[in-house]
Amino acid sequence: MPAQFVIIDRDTPMLLPPDLRDWVNEDDLVHFVIEAVERLPLEVFTVNHRGSGHAQKSPHMMLALLIYCYSNGIFSSRKIERATYRDISVRYLTADTHPDHDTICKFRRENLSAISAAFVDILQLAREMGLLKMGKVSTDGTHIKASAAMAKNVNYKRANELKETLQLDIEALLKEAESADQADLDEQKLPAQIAHREKLVSKMDEAIEGLKKRAQAQQHADQSAYEKKRANGTQGGRRDRTGK
C-alpha cells in the first residue's frame, strides 16, 4: 500500500483566528513582560515632545519588545524587527505593529540607562514572584546563584548584592545587543532582485541549472582523468611485457 501524505496547499487562503491572543499560550512569558512594563513610569524615556507629524511608538511597547526579545536571546535589531512578523508572541506584544530596525536601535541607544534600570526592576519583580528565570536570563544573576528556597526570602544585604549583579548582567546583555547591531549583515533577508516570488523562482531555476552544468563539467573532467589514467596504466603494462 503506497504511503499517504497530508496535502500541503499553500495557494488556498489561510485564515487566522479573529483574535491574535488565541495563538498565545496563557503561560507565555510575554504576558508577564507586558504587565510588568506597563507598571513602569514613562518619564525617564526619551520621546519627541514637539512631534514630527507621525505618531511615535509607545515607550512601553518598545521597552517590552526589547526585554522580551533579549530575554529570549534575540539581540540584533534586524532580528527583532523580523520577530514582529514571524513570532506570534512578539506580534501580540506589539499589537501587530512593526517598528523597523532603525527605530529599535535608536530607542535602545537613546534610552540605555533607562532600559537597564527597568530590566533590573523587572528581573527583581520576577524573582519576587518566584520566577528563577525570565526566558534565558536568570533572575538571580549569572555570578550569584541563590537556591529556590532563598529566591523569595533574601535579606537586605543579599538583595543589594543581587541587584548589583543583575545590573552588571544587563549591562553585558545591552553591550551584546549593540555588538549584534554593529556586526549585523541580515543574513536571512533576500536580495532585492529575488524578493518577489516570481523572481525568486526564476533565480532558483537559474541557480539549479548552474549547479547541474558544474556537476556535468566535473563529471566530464573526472571521466577524462579516469580514462587518461587507465590509458597510461595500459601502456605501462605493455612496456613491461615487451621490455620497451
Domain range list for the chain: 20-46+55-183, 192-242
What pLDDT is recorded for position 81?
96
pLDDT of residue 47 exceeding 70, the answer is no
Give the Cα separation of 57 and 48 in Å (integer): 10
* 97-118 confidence digits (pLDDT tens): 999 999 999 999 999 888 888 8
Q: Which residue has the cell 539581540?
A: 75
What is the per-residue pLDDT across 174-201, written as a single tens digit (0 to 9) for each?
Answer: 777 777 777 655 544 555 655 565 676 6
**CB-based contact 39:105 (threshold 8 Å):** no
Greatest Cα-to-Cα distance within the chain, rounded to the nearest angstrom: 100
Distances (CA, A) of 238 to 8, 224, 227: 63, 21, 17
pLDDT (tens digit per residue) in 139-170: 665 433 333 333 344 444 444 555 666 677 77
Residues 168 and 120: their CA atoms lie apart, in Å, by 10
CB atoms within 10 A of CB 167: 16
Helical H runs in 41-155?
A: 59-71, 77-86, 88-93, 101-110, 112-128
For residue range 54-92, what is the model confidence (pLDDT) as tens digits? 678 889 999 999 999 998 989 899 999 999 999 999 999
Q: Which of 108, 107, 104, 102 has its CA nearest to residue 174?
A: 108
User: 72: which residues sit within 8 A by CB, 6+ positions away?
Assistant: 29, 135, 136
Share of the chain above pLDDT 70, in %: 72
* The pLDDT value given to residue 172: 75
Q: Which residues contact 177 (CB under 8 A, 6 or more apart)?
A: 66, 70, 75, 76, 77, 108
For position 131, what pLDDT does the model report?
Answer: 75
